[in-house]
Structure 1
Amino acid sequence: MEGFLSHIFKVNDGFLRITTKPLQSKFLAQLDHFSEKLLQIFQNKGGEKGHKIKSVLATKDMSDHINIRRECVLKSLTIYLNEDPNSLFKEYVPSTAEDAENDITTTVMGIYTFRRDEIREQNDVVVVIEGVKVLTNVDMMAFILLFGLIYALDLSFPDNLKYTFEFVQKIIMNLDGHRLNTKIQQLKMKLFI
């Protein structure tokens, strides 16, 4: 637990030095602030995207845990922005752990959740950058810490998730929000109606 907290403090401190904004508290507060409106927007989406989003949101309905809700909002956001949440969020059970280790070596950026069994109970959550496990046992903090590491290490957002990370950067964290991609601008307008 001490190592886990040390990693959180280091990433939070690095992000604060670079942006002058607190990472964890700002991200969680803003995500929670926008969640209800985002969920309304997502639930009104039709077609194939709407079907995928409803499938993700069904997980939220099975649990009242805030971290499950946040995870579902982030995955739904990714789908809404025409990106694949499975390219970032990967889940494995013990029977597929060997597949996970092979997958990690070829991953540019990812969040790997290892579950004890087929139900929702987590055993470990790992943040991977360039095929290396950079943080382990980070739970829901994985996305936040990955975003902070991207800033701290001056990395580019992955091309296949650039809209998701841009939304987090410019809307959730309110960093460099004056120049928005068209997709992000449209979602922002729906958020503030």
Structure 2
Amino acid sequence: MSQLDRFSDDLLKVFSKKDGIIRKRIQDDSEESTEADIKKTTLGIYVIKHESADATEDPEDVGIVLEGVEVLSGLGNVALATAMLVGLIYSLNLTYPQELRYSFEVLQKIILELDSKKLSNKAQSLKTKLFT
């Protein structure tokens, strides 16, 4: 948790400079379409906020989805959900989804400092941006 806290401000600064889409946001969706999106999710964290909530308000719910199934809910914040997701990945011996490989590489090797000696070019580039 402390490592996530340590890097969160710098990560937000780096991501805010990107021109492309960094994350998928579901806005003004019906409950049915949100449930359909969850069923299509291989591995992820979801955050539910009230429509009128501002950025400083706590989310209504934070949870984890594995293979289209909500496996944990009521986690309170994204940092705890991230830590729990990493724990689930290791305890269930899951492989990272191909489309999220760089995200999980950064989480594992830069944030958690596990096996951090060998980084892909993309992860090394982000690490350089974080530490400058």
Choose between structure 1 and 2: higher helix proportion.
Answer: 1
Unpaired runs of at least 5, structure 2: none
| TM-score normalised per structure 1 | 0.56
Q: Report the structure number with the largest CA radius of gyration.
A: 1
Q: Does 1:113 align with 2:86?
A: no
CA distance in 2, matches of 1:114, 1:36: 22
Aligned 8 A contact 1:91 1:114 in 2:
no
Deviation at 1:91, TM superposition (A): 4.6
| TM-score normalised per structure 2 | 0.78
Unpaired runs of at least 5, structure 1: 1-27, 53-78, 80-84
Match of 1:185 among 116, 119, 124: 124
User: Which letter maps to 1:173?
Assistant: L
Matches within 5 A, 1:50-61: none
CA distance in 1, matches of 2:44, 2:37: 10
* 1:30 alignment counterpart: 3
* 1:175 alignment counterpart: 114
* 2:30 alignment counterpart: 96
Deviation at 1:39, TM superposition (A): 4.4
41 and 135 in structure 1: CA distance in 2 versus 1, 3 angstrom threshold = closer
Q: Does 1:150 align with 2:89?
A: yes
Deviation at 1:42, TM superposition (A): 4.3
Deviation at 1:156, TM superposition (A): 1.2
In the TM superposition, what whole-angstrom CA distance separates every residue of 1:45-70 from its partner, at most 9, and x where no partner exists?
36x24xx5xxxxxxxxxxxxxxxxxx
2:63 aligned counterpart, secondary structure = strand
* 1:131 alignment counterpart: 68
* 2:103 alignment counterpart: 164
CA distance in 2, matches of 1:176, 1:115: 35
Deviation at 1:127, TM superposition (A): 0.9
Runs of 4+ in 1 over 3 A off after TM superposition: 35-43, 90-93
Instruction: Give the % identical residues.
Output: 43
CA distance in 2, matches of 1:107, 1:37: 27
CA distance in 1, matches of 2:11, 2:99: 21
Deviation at 1:143, TM superposition (A): 2.2
Task: Give the CA RMSD over aligned residues.
Answer: 2.5
1:128 aligned counterpart, secondary structure = strand
In the TM superposition, what whole-angstrom CA distance separates every residue of 1:102-135 from its partner, at most 9, and x where no partner exists?
2222221122223333324532222110111110
Deviation at 1:40, TM superposition (A): 4.6
